[in-house]
Amino acid sequence: MSDLLHTPLHDLHVELGAKMVPFAGYAMPVQYPMGVMNEHTHTREKAGLFDVSHMGQVIIEGSNFETVALELEKLIPVDILGLAENRQRYGFFTNAAGGIMDDLMLANRGDHVFMVVNAGCKDPDIAHLKSNLTGLTVSEIQNRALLALQGPAAERVLGALNPMAANMRFMDVATISLAGAECWVSRSGYTGEDGYEISVPSDQAVALATELLSHVDVEPIGLGARDSLRLEGGLCLFGHDIDTQTTPIQASLNWAIQKVRRTGGDRSGGFPGADVILAELANGASQKRVGLRPDGRAPMREGVQLFAGLDDEMPIGNITSGGFGPTVGGPITMGYVPIEYTAQGTAIFGELRGKRQPLTVMALPFVPSNFKR
Protein backbone atom coordinates (compact mmCIF):
# COMPACT_ATOMS: atom_id res chain seq x y z
CA MET A 1 0.00 0.00 0.00
CA SER A 2 3.08 2.20 -0.33
CA ASP A 3 1.73 4.15 -3.29
CA LEU A 4 -1.46 5.07 -1.41
CA LEU A 5 -2.03 8.54 -0.03
CA HIS A 6 -2.22 8.99 3.72
CA THR A 7 -4.62 11.27 5.58
CA PRO A 8 -3.21 13.32 8.48
CA LEU A 9 -4.73 10.70 10.83
CA HIS A 10 -3.03 7.70 9.20
CA ASP A 11 -0.59 6.95 12.02
CA LEU A 12 -3.35 7.36 14.61
CA HIS A 13 -5.49 4.77 12.77
CA VAL A 14 -2.60 2.31 12.79
CA GLU A 15 -1.95 3.01 16.48
CA LEU A 16 -5.65 2.34 17.21
CA GLY A 17 -5.32 -1.06 15.52
CA ALA A 18 -7.29 -0.25 12.38
CA LYS A 19 -7.32 -2.59 9.43
CA MET A 20 -6.22 -0.31 6.59
CA VAL A 21 -7.48 -0.83 3.05
CA PRO A 22 -7.07 1.05 -0.23
CA PHE A 23 -10.01 3.36 -0.92
CA ALA A 24 -10.11 6.02 -3.65
CA GLY A 25 -6.30 6.14 -3.70
CA TYR A 26 -5.97 6.47 0.08
CA ALA A 27 -5.08 4.02 2.81
CA MET A 28 -8.23 4.16 4.95
CA PRO A 29 -9.43 2.32 8.08
CA VAL A 30 -12.15 -0.19 7.15
CA GLN A 31 -12.57 -1.26 10.78
CA TYR A 32 -10.97 -1.07 14.20
CA PRO A 33 -10.62 -3.93 16.71
CA MET A 34 -14.22 -3.31 17.86
CA GLY A 35 -15.49 -4.68 14.52
CA VAL A 36 -18.00 -3.37 12.00
CA MET A 37 -21.12 -4.53 13.85
CA ASN A 38 -20.17 -2.98 17.20
CA GLU A 39 -18.86 0.19 15.53
CA HIS A 40 -22.19 0.59 13.77
CA THR A 41 -24.21 0.07 16.95
CA HIS A 42 -21.94 2.34 18.95
CA THR A 43 -22.52 5.17 16.47
CA ARG A 44 -26.31 4.74 16.66
CA GLU A 45 -26.25 4.64 20.48
CA LYS A 46 -23.41 7.02 21.42
CA ALA A 47 -20.96 8.65 19.03
CA GLY A 48 -18.50 7.56 16.37
CA LEU A 49 -15.50 9.45 14.99
CA PHE A 50 -14.84 8.99 11.27
CA ASP A 51 -11.85 10.15 9.25
CA VAL A 52 -13.24 11.49 5.98
CA SER A 53 -10.14 13.47 5.06
CA HIS A 54 -9.96 11.65 1.74
CA MET A 55 -12.96 13.65 0.56
CA GLY A 56 -12.36 16.81 -1.47
CA GLN A 57 -12.69 20.17 0.26
CA VAL A 58 -13.09 22.96 -2.25
CA ILE A 59 -13.49 26.73 -1.96
CA ILE A 60 -15.14 28.67 -4.78
CA GLU A 61 -14.67 32.42 -4.65
CA GLY A 62 -15.90 35.33 -6.75
CA SER A 63 -16.61 39.02 -6.30
CA ASN A 64 -19.52 38.16 -3.98
CA PHE A 65 -21.70 35.22 -2.95
CA GLU A 66 -24.44 36.03 -5.49
CA THR A 67 -21.97 35.81 -8.38
CA VAL A 68 -20.63 32.48 -7.13
CA ALA A 69 -24.12 31.07 -6.51
CA LEU A 70 -25.45 31.99 -9.95
CA GLU A 71 -22.39 30.51 -11.70
CA LEU A 72 -22.60 27.29 -9.67
CA GLU A 73 -26.30 26.96 -10.46
CA LYS A 74 -25.21 26.43 -14.11
CA LEU A 75 -23.69 23.11 -13.00
CA ILE A 76 -25.84 22.11 -10.01
CA PRO A 77 -29.67 21.93 -10.13
CA VAL A 78 -30.30 23.15 -6.59
CA ASP A 79 -31.14 26.54 -5.08
CA ILE A 80 -27.74 27.96 -4.19
CA LEU A 81 -28.64 31.66 -4.42
CA GLY A 82 -31.37 31.18 -1.82
CA LEU A 83 -29.05 29.46 0.64
CA ALA A 84 -28.71 31.67 3.72
CA GLU A 85 -25.27 32.57 5.03
CA ASN A 86 -23.72 29.73 7.07
CA ARG A 87 -26.23 27.19 5.82
CA GLN A 88 -25.37 24.02 3.94
CA ARG A 89 -27.27 22.03 1.33
CA TYR A 90 -26.97 18.70 -0.51
CA GLY A 91 -26.53 18.81 -4.28
CA PHE A 92 -24.96 17.17 -7.32
CA PHE A 93 -23.30 17.92 -10.63
CA THR A 94 -25.37 16.76 -13.59
CA ASN A 95 -24.28 15.93 -17.13
CA ALA A 96 -25.99 16.74 -20.45
CA ALA A 97 -28.00 13.50 -20.30
CA GLY A 98 -29.30 14.37 -16.83
CA GLY A 99 -27.00 11.84 -15.13
CA ILE A 100 -25.21 12.53 -11.86
CA MET A 101 -21.46 13.24 -12.09
CA ASP A 102 -20.99 13.44 -8.32
CA ASP A 103 -23.00 14.32 -5.24
CA LEU A 104 -21.78 16.92 -2.78
CA MET A 105 -22.43 19.27 0.11
CA LEU A 106 -22.13 23.02 -0.37
CA ALA A 107 -22.28 25.88 2.12
CA ASN A 108 -22.73 29.62 1.89
CA ARG A 109 -19.75 31.03 3.79
CA GLY A 110 -20.54 34.67 3.13
CA ASP A 111 -17.92 35.60 0.60
CA HIS A 112 -17.38 32.10 -0.81
CA VAL A 113 -18.89 28.65 -1.24
CA PHE A 114 -17.35 25.74 0.64
CA MET A 115 -17.95 22.39 -1.02
CA VAL A 116 -17.24 18.80 0.00
CA VAL A 117 -17.09 16.26 -2.82
CA ASN A 118 -16.42 12.52 -3.02
CA ALA A 119 -12.80 11.36 -2.82
CA GLY A 120 -12.96 9.39 -6.05
CA CYS A 121 -14.38 12.35 -7.98
CA LYS A 122 -12.43 15.29 -6.60
CA ASP A 123 -9.99 15.70 -9.48
CA PRO A 124 -12.65 15.52 -12.23
CA ASP A 125 -14.98 17.71 -10.12
CA ILE A 126 -12.36 20.42 -9.72
CA ALA A 127 -11.52 20.24 -13.44
CA HIS A 128 -15.25 20.48 -14.21
CA LEU A 129 -15.61 23.54 -11.98
CA LYS A 130 -12.53 25.24 -13.37
CA SER A 131 -13.45 24.72 -16.99
CA ASN A 132 -17.09 25.78 -16.64
CA LEU A 133 -17.13 28.62 -14.13
CA THR A 134 -16.42 32.09 -15.47
CA GLY A 135 -14.66 34.64 -13.31
CA LEU A 136 -14.41 32.45 -10.21
CA THR A 137 -11.47 30.99 -8.34
CA VAL A 138 -11.62 27.29 -7.49
CA SER A 139 -9.17 26.05 -4.84
CA GLU A 140 -8.78 22.61 -3.36
CA ILE A 141 -8.04 22.80 0.35
CA GLN A 142 -5.11 20.45 0.91
CA ASN A 143 -3.99 21.51 4.36
CA ARG A 144 -7.09 20.44 6.25
CA ALA A 145 -8.34 17.10 7.48
CA LEU A 146 -12.05 16.30 7.64
CA LEU A 147 -13.54 14.46 10.62
CA ALA A 148 -17.12 13.39 11.19
CA LEU A 149 -18.51 12.96 14.69
CA GLN A 150 -21.84 11.15 14.42
CA GLY A 151 -24.42 9.85 16.84
CA PRO A 152 -26.77 10.99 19.59
CA ALA A 153 -23.88 11.85 21.95
CA ALA A 154 -22.14 14.04 19.34
CA GLU A 155 -23.80 17.25 20.56
CA ARG A 156 -22.77 16.62 24.16
CA VAL A 157 -19.22 15.71 23.19
CA LEU A 158 -18.59 18.64 20.86
CA GLY A 159 -20.57 21.04 23.04
CA ALA A 160 -18.17 20.28 25.88
CA LEU A 161 -15.28 21.53 23.71
CA ASN A 162 -17.22 24.58 22.54
CA PRO A 163 -20.81 25.37 23.60
CA MET A 164 -21.40 27.03 20.22
CA ALA A 165 -21.42 23.59 18.62
CA ALA A 166 -24.44 22.55 20.66
CA ASN A 167 -26.41 25.57 19.47
CA MET A 168 -26.08 24.71 15.79
CA ARG A 169 -29.07 23.25 13.94
CA PHE A 170 -29.04 20.59 11.21
CA MET A 171 -27.15 21.96 8.17
CA ASP A 172 -25.80 25.03 10.02
CA VAL A 173 -22.16 25.87 9.34
CA ALA A 174 -19.83 27.82 11.63
CA THR A 175 -16.18 28.56 12.22
CA ILE A 176 -15.47 27.66 15.81
CA SER A 177 -12.46 26.85 17.94
CA LEU A 178 -12.11 23.21 19.01
CA ALA A 179 -9.15 22.04 21.09
CA GLY A 180 -7.29 25.18 20.03
CA ALA A 181 -7.89 24.66 16.31
CA GLU A 182 -9.93 26.93 14.04
CA CYS A 183 -12.48 24.51 12.62
CA TRP A 184 -15.11 24.80 9.93
CA VAL A 185 -17.96 22.83 11.39
CA SER A 186 -21.26 21.78 9.83
CA ARG A 187 -24.04 20.02 11.67
CA SER A 188 -24.44 17.20 9.18
CA GLY A 189 -23.09 13.83 8.23
CA TYR A 190 -23.90 10.71 6.29
CA THR A 191 -25.08 8.19 8.84
CA GLY A 192 -28.70 9.26 9.40
CA GLU A 193 -27.68 10.38 12.90
CA ASP A 194 -27.26 13.83 14.35
CA GLY A 195 -23.66 14.93 14.22
CA TYR A 196 -20.98 17.15 12.80
CA GLU A 197 -18.44 17.30 10.03
CA ILE A 198 -15.31 19.14 11.11
CA SER A 199 -12.70 20.60 8.79
CA VAL A 200 -9.56 21.05 10.88
CA PRO A 201 -6.02 22.20 9.96
CA SER A 202 -3.99 19.06 9.17
CA ASP A 203 -1.34 19.77 11.80
CA GLN A 204 -4.01 19.98 14.53
CA ALA A 205 -6.12 17.05 13.35
CA VAL A 206 -4.50 14.36 15.48
CA ALA A 207 -4.79 16.50 18.61
CA LEU A 208 -8.49 17.14 17.96
CA ALA A 209 -9.20 13.50 17.10
CA THR A 210 -7.35 12.36 20.24
CA GLU A 211 -9.31 14.84 22.36
CA LEU A 212 -12.62 13.59 20.91
CA LEU A 213 -11.60 9.94 21.33
CA SER A 214 -10.71 10.57 24.98
CA HIS A 215 -14.45 10.98 25.65
CA VAL A 216 -15.93 7.77 27.06
CA ASP A 217 -18.79 7.89 24.51
CA VAL A 218 -16.60 8.22 21.39
CA GLU A 219 -15.05 5.33 19.45
CA PRO A 220 -13.22 5.42 16.11
CA ILE A 221 -15.35 4.05 13.28
CA GLY A 222 -14.17 2.67 9.93
CA LEU A 223 -15.50 2.62 6.39
CA GLY A 224 -17.30 -0.69 6.95
CA ALA A 225 -19.70 0.76 9.51
CA ARG A 226 -19.89 4.02 7.58
CA ASP A 227 -21.33 2.00 4.70
CA SER A 228 -23.90 0.09 6.78
CA LEU A 229 -24.94 3.29 8.58
CA ARG A 230 -25.53 5.24 5.37
CA LEU A 231 -27.33 2.26 3.80
CA GLU A 232 -29.73 2.05 6.76
CA GLY A 233 -30.11 5.82 6.39
CA GLY A 234 -31.22 5.33 2.76
CA LEU A 235 -28.36 7.55 1.60
CA CYS A 236 -26.83 7.15 -1.87
CA LEU A 237 -23.24 6.13 -2.44
CA PHE A 238 -21.87 7.68 -5.63
CA GLY A 239 -20.60 5.10 -8.12
CA HIS A 240 -23.06 2.57 -6.73
CA ASP A 241 -26.57 3.97 -6.11
CA ILE A 242 -26.06 7.00 -8.32
CA ASP A 243 -23.77 7.59 -11.28
CA THR A 244 -23.62 9.22 -14.71
CA GLN A 245 -26.31 6.79 -15.94
CA THR A 246 -28.88 7.67 -13.26
CA THR A 247 -30.79 10.94 -13.09
CA PRO A 248 -31.68 12.59 -9.78
CA ILE A 249 -35.34 11.74 -10.39
CA GLN A 250 -34.60 8.07 -11.02
CA ALA A 251 -32.46 8.17 -7.87
CA SER A 252 -35.47 9.49 -5.87
CA LEU A 253 -33.55 12.68 -5.10
CA ASN A 254 -36.38 14.99 -6.26
CA TRP A 255 -36.38 16.63 -2.82
CA ALA A 256 -32.91 18.06 -3.48
CA ILE A 257 -34.16 20.13 -6.44
CA GLN A 258 -35.95 23.12 -4.96
CA LYS A 259 -39.02 24.68 -6.65
CA VAL A 260 -37.07 27.70 -7.86
CA ARG A 261 -35.03 25.44 -10.19
CA ARG A 262 -38.05 23.47 -11.46
CA THR A 263 -40.39 24.34 -14.32
CA GLY A 264 -42.21 27.52 -13.38
CA GLY A 265 -39.53 28.59 -10.88
CA ASP A 266 -37.68 31.91 -11.11
CA ARG A 267 -34.42 30.19 -12.04
CA SER A 268 -35.89 27.12 -13.72
CA GLY A 269 -33.42 24.88 -15.55
CA GLY A 270 -30.15 26.30 -16.80
CA PHE A 271 -28.12 23.28 -15.65
CA PRO A 272 -26.77 20.35 -17.71
CA GLY A 273 -29.50 17.84 -18.56
CA ALA A 274 -32.29 20.22 -17.46
CA ASP A 275 -34.54 19.08 -20.33
CA VAL A 276 -34.35 15.45 -19.18
CA ILE A 277 -34.58 16.17 -15.47
CA LEU A 278 -37.44 18.67 -15.67
CA ALA A 279 -39.39 16.34 -18.00
CA GLU A 280 -38.93 13.48 -15.52
CA LEU A 281 -40.04 15.76 -12.68
CA ALA A 282 -43.21 16.56 -14.63
CA ASN A 283 -43.97 13.14 -16.06
CA GLY A 284 -42.19 10.73 -13.73
CA ALA A 285 -39.17 8.57 -14.45
CA SER A 286 -39.46 5.08 -15.92
CA GLN A 287 -37.44 3.58 -13.07
CA LYS A 288 -36.73 4.60 -9.48
CA ARG A 289 -34.36 3.82 -6.65
CA VAL A 290 -36.21 2.07 -3.83
CA GLY A 291 -35.45 0.36 -0.56
CA LEU A 292 -35.70 -3.43 -0.76
CA ARG A 293 -35.66 -5.81 2.14
CA PRO A 294 -34.87 -9.48 1.53
CA ASP A 295 -37.52 -11.59 3.27
CA GLY A 296 -34.91 -14.17 4.28
CA ARG A 297 -31.72 -13.72 6.26
CA ALA A 298 -29.25 -13.96 3.41
CA PRO A 299 -27.76 -10.58 2.48
CA MET A 300 -28.06 -9.55 -1.16
CA ARG A 301 -25.35 -7.26 -2.41
CA GLU A 302 -24.62 -4.87 -5.25
CA GLY A 303 -25.13 -6.46 -8.66
CA VAL A 304 -27.83 -8.96 -7.67
CA GLN A 305 -30.42 -9.02 -10.45
CA LEU A 306 -34.07 -8.36 -9.63
CA PHE A 307 -37.01 -10.20 -11.21
CA ALA A 308 -40.76 -9.63 -11.15
CA GLY A 309 -41.53 -13.32 -10.78
CA LEU A 310 -39.95 -16.68 -10.08
CA ASP A 311 -39.88 -17.69 -13.74
CA ASP A 312 -39.35 -14.42 -15.61
CA GLU A 313 -36.36 -14.56 -17.92
CA MET A 314 -35.63 -10.84 -18.08
CA PRO A 315 -34.48 -8.96 -14.99
CA ILE A 316 -36.38 -5.76 -14.13
CA GLY A 317 -33.48 -4.13 -12.33
CA ASN A 318 -30.60 -4.71 -9.97
CA ILE A 319 -29.36 -4.02 -6.48
CA THR A 320 -26.96 -1.09 -6.21
CA SER A 321 -26.11 -1.35 -2.48
CA GLY A 322 -26.81 -4.17 -0.11
CA GLY A 323 -25.64 -5.82 3.03
CA PHE A 324 -26.53 -6.46 6.61
CA GLY A 325 -28.14 -3.66 8.62
CA PRO A 326 -27.05 -4.11 12.23
CA THR A 327 -29.73 -1.76 13.60
CA VAL A 328 -32.43 -3.28 11.36
CA GLY A 329 -31.14 -6.70 12.42
CA GLY A 330 -31.28 -8.18 8.96
CA PRO A 331 -30.31 -7.75 5.34
CA ILE A 332 -31.24 -4.51 3.55
CA THR A 333 -30.64 -3.24 0.03
CA MET A 334 -31.36 -0.42 -2.37
CA GLY A 335 -31.86 -0.86 -6.08
CA TYR A 336 -33.60 0.32 -9.21
CA VAL A 337 -36.92 -1.07 -10.43
CA PRO A 338 -39.46 0.05 -13.06
CA ILE A 339 -42.01 2.54 -11.77
CA GLU A 340 -44.80 -0.07 -11.58
CA TYR A 341 -42.82 -1.98 -8.92
CA THR A 342 -42.04 0.97 -6.64
CA ALA A 343 -45.09 0.88 -4.34
CA GLN A 344 -44.24 -0.04 -0.74
CA GLY A 345 -44.99 -3.68 -0.08
CA THR A 346 -44.48 -4.80 -3.68
CA ALA A 347 -43.00 -8.29 -3.71
CA ILE A 348 -40.19 -9.05 -6.18
CA PHE A 349 -37.27 -11.48 -6.35
CA GLY A 350 -33.51 -11.28 -6.33
CA GLU A 351 -31.38 -14.02 -7.81
CA LEU A 352 -28.84 -15.15 -5.25
CA ARG A 353 -26.45 -17.98 -6.16
CA GLY A 354 -28.87 -19.17 -8.84
CA LYS A 355 -31.95 -19.12 -6.59
CA ARG A 356 -34.76 -16.58 -6.65
CA GLN A 357 -35.31 -15.13 -3.18
CA PRO A 358 -38.18 -12.78 -2.27
CA LEU A 359 -37.67 -9.10 -1.44
CA THR A 360 -40.20 -6.45 -0.42
CA VAL A 361 -40.16 -2.81 -1.50
CA MET A 362 -39.70 -0.67 1.64
CA ALA A 363 -39.84 3.01 2.54
CA LEU A 364 -36.46 4.70 2.95
CA PRO A 365 -34.73 5.28 5.29
CA PHE A 366 -34.69 1.83 6.91
CA VAL A 367 -33.80 3.47 10.24
CA PRO A 368 -35.49 6.82 11.06
CA SER A 369 -33.17 9.80 10.75
CA ASN A 370 -32.21 11.55 13.95
CA PHE A 371 -31.34 15.06 12.72
CA LYS A 372 -31.52 18.12 14.97
CA ARG A 373 -33.69 20.34 12.80
Partner 1 sequence: MKYTEEHEWLRLEDAIVVVGITEHATTQLGDIVFVELPDVGTTVVKDEEIVVIESVKAASDIMAPIDGEIVEVNEALNDNPSQVNEDAIGAGWFFKIKPSDPSQMDGYMDEAAYNAFIG
Q: Which residues bind partner 1 (CB under 8 A)?
A: 30-31, 35-37, 224, 228, 297-299, 301, 323-324, 326, 331, 353
CA 140/CA 146 separation, integer angstroms: 13
Nearer to partner 1, 297 or 373 (CB): 297
Nearer to partner 1, 37 or 164 (CB): 37
Least distance between partner 1 and beta carbon 357 (Å): 11
Q: Are 367 and 291 in contact, with CB atoms under 8 Å apart?
A: no
Q: Are 104 and 116 in contact, with CB atoms under 8 Å apart?
A: yes
Q: Are 71 and 267 in contact, with CB atoms under 8 Å apart?
A: no
Least distance between partner 1 and beta carbon 297 (Å): 5
Least distance between partner 1 and beta carbon 19 (Å): 9
Nearer to partner 1, 189 or 224 (CB): 224
Least distance between partner 1 and beta carbon 239 (Å): 18
Least distance between partner 1 and beta carbon 35 (Å): 6
Nearer to partner 1, 61 or 302 (CB): 302
CA 157/CA 88 separation, integer angstroms: 22
Nearer to partner 1, 199 or 228 (CB): 228
CA 367/CA 369 separation, integer angstroms: 6
Nearer to partner 1, 239 or 269 (CB): 239
Least distance between partner 1 and beta carbon 296 (Å): 9
CA-based nearest residue to 114, from 133, 140, 153: 140
Q: Say which amino acid occupies 150.
A: Q
DSSP string covering 325-363, please?
Answer: ETTTTEEEEEEEEEGGG-STT-EEEEEETTEEEEEEEEP
CA-based nearest residue to 186, from 166, 203, 200, 172: 172
